[in-house]
Amino acid sequence: MTADPKRSSQITTELDHRQDTNRRFGAVDFEDWLFQRLSLKPGQRVLDVGCGTGGHLLKLAGRAPQGHYHGVDISVSSIEKARRTAADQGLAATFSSGDAGDPAVLPGQQFDLILSVYALYYVQDHRAVLEACRRRLAEGGRLAVVAPYQGNNADWYGFLSAFMTMPEDVMWVADHFMKDVVLPFGHEHFPEVRSHLFQNRVEIPSRDALQAYWESNIYHRPEWDEHFSRQAEEHFRTHSTFTITKRALLATMGPLS
Ligand SMILES: C[S@@+](CC[C@H](N)C(=O)[O-])C[C@H]1O[C@@H](n2cnc3c(N)ncnc32)[C@H](O)[C@@H]1O
């Protein structure tokens, strides 16, 4: 991630675009799926680590307004947007910006649920942040982590690999982050660890929408646009959609005694 405000704001816009694509063209609503499995109770204190523009946290706050909600993200522009949305919607959520790996950034108080969605693998020292989160759980508290999982985007990556090599760090996350970092941490520290597999078929309906999706990814490079465009044109000559299969794992860990 970056400290450059222009790039940071671009990353925020790109993330919004990818999430919008998944919502519009996906078969399953990720947030409904996630919230059902978090079973949040009224009045609970929730921390979202790497909250982005606060979408998940603010929806939780809207559903259970008696709770306490705080989001942390390294992107200043995302946090500004989260604060604006909270104010516009009259929701009592608070936000702070900073690197979750910096011990001074996570709030000192305790939480009933610490949530991190598609974010923890960006921090430098995963285990240190997981440990810092665990220390902030109240008695009975739970830690919930979501990240891409094995086989995520296989169709999409196959399509791209005709002209580019997928960055190793992107591939590492789906293959190893949950399996080799989060789940072993959970089994070491919590009496109960549950894994929930999320799978979603996202049917992109046009070449333009696929092009826009490509441009909103962190691994997009303009020098590959020509290859991409040629291949996308070829694909849509014989297909009416392009299917991207999303696979993610939610690990819920707790309760802390
Ligand atoms: C893919 S986005 C997910 C955002 C949000 N959780 C969601 O699901 O919409 C990853 C987020 O992690 C944040 N991030 C990356 N490195 C971070 C760090 N070291 N500390 C805190 N947040 C970080 C990014 O700024 C970005 O908002």
Residue recorded with tokens 């063209």: 25
pLDDT band at 8 (very low <50, low <70, confident <90, very high): low
SS3 of residue 14 by DSSP: helix
The pLDDT value given to residue 88: 97
Residue 76 CB: number of other CB atoms within 10 A?
A: 15
The domain limits of the chain are 5-152+169-205+247-254
The pLDDT value given to residue 132: 96
**Ligand 1: which residue has its CA nearest to atom 9?**
52
CA of 235 to the centre of ligand 1 (A): 32
Element (H, E) at 147: strand 137-148
133-179 residue pLDDT tens: 999 999 999 999 999 999 999 999 999 999 999 999 999 999 999 99
Determine the angle formed by the axes of helices 30-38 and 55-63, rounding to 10 degrees.
60
Alpha-carbon distance of 163 to 228, in angstroms, equals 8
Rg, C-alpha atoms of the chain: 19
pLDDT band at 9 (very low <50, low <70, confident <90, very high): confident
By DSSP bridging, strand 111-117 and strand 68-73 are unpaired
Mutate to test the pocket of ligand 1, among 33, 48, 74 (most ligand atoms within 8 A of CB): 74
201-238 residue pLDDT tens: 999 999 999 999 999 998 999 999 999 999 999 999 99
Per-residue HEC secondary structure of 17-28 comes to HHHHHHHHHECC
The pLDDT value given to residue 87: 97
Mutate to test the pocket of ligand 1, among 13, 14, 15, 106 (most ligand atoms within 8 A of CB): 15
The pLDDT value given to residue 2: 46
- CB within 6 Å of ligand 1 — which residues? 1, 15, 50-52, 55-56, 72-75, 78, 99-101, 117-119, 122-123
CA of 121 to the centre of ligand 1 (A): 9
Per-chain mean pLDDT for the chain: 93
CA of 52 to the centre of ligand 1 (A): 5
Residue 145 contacts residue 48 (beta carbons within 8 Å): no
pLDDT > 90 fraction of the chain, expressed in percent and rounded? 89
Nearest to 150 by CA among 175, 125, 179: 175
The pLDDT value given to residue 1: 47
CB proximity list for 131: less than 8 A, separation 6 or greater: 185
SS3 of residue 233 by DSSP: helix
The pLDDT value given to residue 185: 98
**Ligand 1: which residue has its CA nearest to atom 15?**
122
The pLDDT value given to residue 257: 62
- 104-123 mean pLDDT: 95
CA-48 nearest atom, ligand 1: 6
Alpha-carbon distance of 122 to 101, in angstroms, equals 10
How is domain 5-152+169-205+247-254 classified at the CATH fold level?
Rossmann fold (3.40.50)
52-103 residue pLDDT tens: 999 999 999 999 889 999 999 999 999 999 999 999 999 999 999 999 999 8
Pairs from 64-67 (Cβ < 8 Å, separation ≥ 24): 64/40, 65/91, 65/92, 66/42, 67/40, 67/42, 67/43
Alpha-carbon distance of 25 to 18, in angstroms, equals 11
Nearest to 144 by CA among 55, 250, 49: 250
Residue 162 CB: number of other CB atoms within 10 A?
A: 10
